[in-house]
């Protein structure tokens, strides 16, 4: 083999980051493909790489015979003697093939194409194997070009793409800019592996903090949750397993040097760092910072919290276009309803005035009322919101009776709400001087649901359930009352 070809093979191996032996094997396969175009059979053809002479030898093994019948596998004794003077009949002799002149230009060109194709395939496989293991890590590169908004990034040994949807809004790049991004995925396609980058993923912030904050990298501080609106604002919840280390202070750094470095990387995206708490109320309160929370009401069934803040801090708690409330909800996993302290007190007062005792439901007698109150269901509103599955757990309450009670409770609540809405409409329709007077006359449950002694007796008599035990209890009550 000519020296320049060996040098070229070495250069290919170095540039494509492929093992030299792989290049040699690829060249052997391409030469064997060229040999098949000239010879009908190539089973006796082999290769040997002479590292000392820097040559790739192509060898045809033939058997020495008296009369040659198959030239591809046999050679005459006279011809064998010319190659090896000690050759004898039935010996196997190796014949070196000068493939540069034997196969011709077309065959060599074909071998070259096969070599190029095999090298590309080997390079694609290497890139895929290398970067599939790097998914979930940061990559740094140079902007090579911008194609229809997508940024093509040169990572050194491979190219990656930063799609428009994975770019921070209003972030601009120019050719030659240095860029860092999160390796989101590596996909195989016909043109080779495609490396997908992202700068909007929550994991991008996570990996940046791991680089800037050694305590996070060493798992002393843990990032419990991340909520982010790329390019605008982000909230992260941090927790320290060591009581001596302040997780927020460690992430911020001295004079904010650590977090500011991340802010600059994220195109000046604002980052709020809050301490994590396993108590949902405390966690939501911290997530709404810098607004000060005065009251928190938790609805575990619906996963919702109603939060009251100081009147002058309401806009701060909600944030621009509801951003602060939205991020706090994502961070904590709770639906957060934010109200001013005044509105909250008015709503609680109005709800308290509209509460209806559970005993006023038709068919609910004193014994049933006592059972419901013992289960912390003292009002019609609570009964309407209570699942039937929870009611049947009450001693002596059957499934059919529970369904009936819930339906009646919901009907009463709807009636009360309709009356209240009607009253509000009438107040709004009155002149201003009378509107204030009408507003002072608060609508209460008694205004809508008036009861008398006959209703109570009917309620006692109607408290008959599907269960036999309840029927016996109610009959005893009725007898006592009649006496």
Domain count, the chain: 4
What pLDDT, on a 0 to 100 scale, did the predictor assign at position 4? 52
Measure the CA angle with vertex 453, ends 449 and 454; round to 5°: 90
Q: Residue 360 above 80 pLDDT?
A: no
What pLDDT, on a 0 to 100 scale, did the predictor assign at position 181? 95
Most confident of 36-45, 71-80, 98-107, 283-292: 283-292
Per-residue pLDDT of 59-104, as tens digits, reads 788 888 888 877 777 888 888 877 777 778 878 887 777 666 666 5
Domain that holds residue 254: 203-349
* Residues 339, 366 share a domain: no
Q: Residue 363 above 60 pLDDT?
A: yes
Per-residue pLDDT of 388-444, as tens digits, reads 887 888 877 788 888 888 888 888 878 777 777 777 677 667 665 554 454 445 555
* Residues 123, 257 share a domain: no
Mean pLDDT of 240-265: 93
C-alpha to C-alpha distance for 7 and 9, rounded to whole angstroms: 5
C-alpha to C-alpha distance for 426 and 443, rounded to whole angstroms: 12
* Residues 343, 217 share a domain: yes
* Residues 367, 454 share a domain: yes
> Domain end: 151, 176, 200, which one?
200
What CATH number is associated with residue 30? 3.30.1480.10
C-alpha to C-alpha distance for 35 and 60, rounded to whole angstroms: 11
Residue written as tokens 């009369």?
67
What pLDDT, on a 0 to 100 scale, did the predictor assign at position 84? 77
Can you state the percent helix, strand and coil of the chain, rounding each to 5?
50, 20, 30
* Residues 120, 168 share a domain: no
What pLDDT, on a 0 to 100 scale, did the predictor assign at position 464? 42
What pLDDT, on a 0 to 100 scale, did the predictor assign at position 198? 96
Mean pLDDT of 232-237: 94
Residue 144 lies in a domain: yes
* Tokens of residue 279, six digits: 């108590």
Most confident of 6-10, 253-257, 459-463: 253-257
Per-residue pLDDT of 129-181, as tens digits, reads 889 999 999 999 999 999 888 999 999 878 999 999 999 998 899 999 999 99
* Residues 211, 138 share a domain: no
Residue 70 lies in a domain: yes
What pLDDT, on a 0 to 100 scale, did the predictor assign at position 180? 94
* Residues 47, 150 share a domain: no
Residue 383 lies in a domain: yes
- Give Cα 30 to chain centroid, integer Å: 46
Residue 213 lies in a domain: yes
What CATH number is associated with residue 231? 3.30.300.20
* Residues 220, 333 share a domain: yes
Residue 109 lies in a domain: yes
Residue 222 lies in a domain: yes
What CATH number is associated with residue 184? 2.40.50.140
What pLDDT, on a 0 to 100 scale, did the predictor assign at position 111? 65
Least Cα distance to 263 among 222, 219, 220, 232 occurs for 232
What pLDDT, on a 0 to 100 scale, did the predictor assign at position 453? 37
Would residue 192 be called left, alpha or beta, if left means φ above 0 and alpha means ψ between -120 and 50 degrees? left
* Residues 239, 186 share a domain: no
What pLDDT, on a 0 to 100 scale, did the predictor assign at position 281? 92
* Residues 345, 207 share a domain: yes
* Residues 231, 309 share a domain: yes
> Domain end: 172, 200, 228, which one?
200
Between 465 and 282, the higher pLDDT residue? 282
Residue 483 lies in a domain: no
> Domain end: 200, 232, 254, which one?
200
* Residues 218, 300 share a domain: yes
């Amino acid at each position: 083999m000519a020296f320049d070809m060996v040098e070229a093979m070495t250069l290919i191996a170095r540039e494509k980051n492929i093992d030299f032996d792989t290049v040699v094997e690829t060249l052997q396969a391409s030469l064997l493909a060229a040999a098949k175009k000239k010879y009908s059979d190539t089973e006796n053809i082999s290769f040997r790489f002479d590292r000392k002479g820097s040559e790739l030898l192509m060898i045809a093994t033939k058997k020495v015979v008296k009369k040659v019948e198959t030239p591809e596998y046999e050679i005459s004794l006279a011809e064998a003697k010319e190659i090896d003077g000690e050759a004898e009949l039935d010996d196997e002799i190796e014949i070196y093939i000068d493939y540069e002149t034997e196969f011709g230009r077309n065959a060599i060109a074909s071998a070259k194409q096969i070599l190029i194709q095999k090298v590309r395939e080997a390079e694609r496989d290497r890139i895929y194997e290398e970067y599939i293991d790097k998914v979930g890590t940061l990559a740094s590169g140079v902007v090579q070009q911008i194609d229809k908004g997508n940024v093509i990034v040169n990572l050194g040994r491979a190219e990656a793409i930063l799609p428009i949807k994975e770019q921070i809004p209003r972030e601009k790049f120019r050719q030659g800019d240095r860029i860092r991004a999160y390796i989101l995925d590596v996909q195989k396609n016909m043109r080779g592996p495609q490396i997908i980058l992202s700068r909007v993923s929550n994991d991008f912030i996570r990996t940046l903090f791991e680089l800037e904050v050694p305590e996070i990298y060493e798992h002393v501080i843990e990032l419990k949750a991340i909520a982010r609106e790329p390019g605008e604002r982000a909230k992260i919840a941090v927790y320290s397993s060591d009581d001596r280390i302040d997780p927020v202070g460690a992430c911020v750094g001295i004079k904010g040097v650590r977090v500011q470095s991340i802010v600059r990387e994220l195109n000046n995206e604002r980052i709020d760092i809050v301490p994590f708490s396993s108590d949902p109320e405390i966690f939501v309160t911290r997530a709404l910072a810098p607004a000060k929370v005065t009251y928190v009401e938790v609805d575990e069934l619906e996963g919702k919290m109603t939060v009251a803040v100081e009147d002058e801090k309401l806009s701060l708690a909600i944030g621009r276009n509801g951003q602060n409330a939205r991020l706090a909800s994502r961070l904590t996993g709770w639906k957060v309803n934010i109200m001013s302290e005044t509105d909250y007190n008015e709503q609680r007062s109005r709800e308290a005035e509209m509460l209806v005792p559970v005993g006023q439901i038709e068919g609910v007698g004193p014994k049933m009322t006592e059972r419901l109150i013992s289960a912390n269901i003292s009002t019609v509103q609570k009964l309407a919101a209570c699942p039937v599955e929870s009611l049947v757990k009450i001693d002596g309450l059957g499934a059919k009776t529970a369904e009936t009670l819930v339906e009646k409770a919901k009907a009463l609540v709807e009636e009360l709400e309709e009356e209240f809405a009607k009253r509000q409409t009438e107040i709004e329709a009155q002149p201003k001087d009378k509107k204030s007077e009408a507003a002072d006359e608060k609508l209460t449950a008694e205004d809508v649901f008036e009861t008398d002694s006959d209703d109570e007796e009917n309620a006692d008599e109607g408290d008959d359930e599907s269960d036999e035990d309840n029927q016996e209890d109610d009959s005893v009550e009725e007898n006592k009352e009649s006496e």
